[in-house]
A and B are shown apart, each in its own frame.
Chain A
Amino acid sequence: MAWLKKTDVKSKIPGNLKLNIWTRCPACQAHIYKQEWEKNLKVCPKCNYHGGITCTERLDLLIDPGSFEELYPDITPRDTLNFKDEKGSYENKIKETISKTGLNEAVITGYGKINNRKVALAIMDFRFLGGSLGSGTGEKIFQTAMAAVEHHLPYIIVSASGGARMQEGMLSLMQMAKTCTGIAQLKKKNLPYLSVLTDPTSGGVSASYAMMGDVNIAEPGALIAFAGRRVIEQTIRQKLPDNFQTAEYLLEQGFIDIIVNRKNMKDLIGKILDFNQRK
Chain B
Amino acid sequence: MDLDFDKPIKDIENKIAELKTLNLKSKVNFASEIKVLEKRCQEQIRSIYSNLTPWQVVQIARHPKRPVLQDYISLIFNSFIELHGDRIYADDQALIGGLATLDKHRVMLIGHNKGKNTKENIERNFGMAKPEGYRKALRLMKMAEKFRIPVLMFIDTQGAYPGMEAEKRGQAEAIAHNLTDMAQLEVPLIALVTGEGGSGGAIGIGAGDVILMLSFSIYSVISPEGCASILWRNAKFAPEAAEALKLTAPSLLKMGILNEIVEEPIGGAHRNHEETARNIKMSLIRHLDTLNQIPLKKLLKQRFEMYARMGKP
Interface residues of B in 103-124 (CB under 8 A from A): none
Contact A81 B245 (CB under 8 A): yes
Contact A86 B307 (CB under 8 A): no
Contact A231 B176 (CB under 8 A): no
B230 to chain A: which residues have CB within 8 Å?
166
CA distance A232 to B168 in the complex (A): 12
By beta carbon, the residue of chain B nearest A170 is B257
CA distance A171 to B247 in the complex (A): 11
Contact with A along B271-313 (1 / 0, CB 8 A): 0000000000000000000000000000000011001101111
- Other than A135-B313, A207-B173, give 13 A-B pairs with Cβ distance below 8 A: A75-B313, A80-B255, A81-B244, A86-B232, A176-B200, A177-B206, A185-B304, A227-B167, A227-B171, A232-B164, A232-B167, A235-B161, A255-B170
Contact B203 A176 (CB under 8 A): yes
Contact with A along B171-187 (1 / 0, CB 8 A): 11101110111111000
The number of A-B residue pairs with CB atoms under 8 Å apart is 189
B154: interface (CB < 8 Å): no
CA distance A136 to B313 in the complex (A): 7
Q: How far is the CB of A178 from chain B (nearest CB, A)?
A: 5
Contact A174 B222 (CB under 8 A): no
A85: interface (CB < 8 Å): yes
A97: interface (CB < 8 Å): no
A188: interface (CB < 8 Å): yes
CA distance A210 to B218 in the complex (A): 27
CA distance A209 to B220 in the complex (A): 20
B39: interface (CB < 8 Å): no
Contact B183 A181 (CB under 8 A): yes
Contact A207 B175 (CB under 8 A): yes
Contact B172 A225 (CB under 8 A): yes
Interface residues of A in 170-191 (CB under 8 A from B): 170-178, 180-181, 183-185, 187-188
Contact A207 B200 (CB under 8 A): yes
Contact A236 B180 (CB under 8 A): no
By beta carbon, the residue of chain A nearest B241 is A85
A64: interface (CB < 8 Å): no
Interface footprint category on A: 35 or more
Interface residues of B in 207-223 (CB under 8 A from A): 207, 219-222
Contact with A along B223-237 (1 / 0, CB 8 A): 000110011110001
Q: How far is the CB of B249 from chain A (nearest CB, A)?
A: 11
A181 with B200: in contact, given A164-B221, A169-B220 (CB under 8 Å)?
A: no
Q: How far is the CB of A155 from chain B (nearest CB, A)?
A: 13
Contact B177 A85 (CB under 8 A): no
B172 to chain A: which residues have CB within 8 Å?
206-207, 210-211, 224-226, 255
B219 to chain A: which residues have CB within 8 Å?
170, 173
Contact with B along A184-217 (1 / 0, CB 8 A): 1101100000000000000110111111100000
CA distance A204 to B220 in the complex (A): 12
B160: interface (CB < 8 Å): yes
CA distance A245 to B310 in the complex (A): 30
CA distance A83 to B232 in the complex (A): 13
CA distance A238 to B165 in the complex (A): 12
Which of A87, A185, A244 touches B164 (beta carbons < 8 Å)?
A244
Contact A232 B255 (CB under 8 A): no
A232 to chain B: which residues have CB within 8 Å?
162-164, 167
B56: interface (CB < 8 Å): no
A184 with B181: in contact, given A177-B207, A226-B172 (CB under 8 Å)?
A: yes
CA distance A184 to B182 in the complex (A): 9
A240: interface (CB < 8 Å): yes
A86 to chain B: which residues have CB within 8 Å?
231-233, 237
- A-B pairs with lowest CB-CB distance, top 8: A135-B311, A227-B162, A180-B179, A184-B183, A206-B172, A85-B231, A226-B172, A177-B207
